[in-house]
Amino acid sequence: MKYVNADSILPESLLKEVQKYVQGGMIYIPTPEQSRKKWGECSGGRTYLNQRNDEIRRNFSAGAKIDQLSEQFCLSCDSIKKIVYSKK
């Protein structure tokens, strides 16, 4: 997160209004709800996990056993079960 000096971006009237509540302190202004990105969208983590889970489901459908998949993907048997038995 990058800090920006408020007097360089806010209109003077708005700055004076904000100063009624916060003087000389830092304030966090969150991104609007509709503009927020979900976890892993920027880093690619979400895509990686979706691809991995799809591969686990394909292998399970092809006859692989839960304990084999657990060892192959370094996940617990319970995690594999959650992936293969979830609706997707």
Mean pLDDT of the chain: 90
Instruction: Provide the whole-model pTM.
Output: 0.60
**Is a pLDDT exceeding 80 seen at residue 46?**
yes
Return all residues near 53 (Cβ < 8 A) that are at least 6 apart. Answer: 83, 88
Sign for the CA dihedral angle at 50, 55, 56, 62 comes to positive
pLDDT digits (tens, 9 = 90+) for 52-61: 999 999 999 9
Return all residues near 69 (Cβ < 8 A) that are at least 6 apart. Answer: 56, 59, 60, 75, 80, 84
Instruction: In whole angstroms, give the CA distance from residue 82 to residue 52.
Output: 13
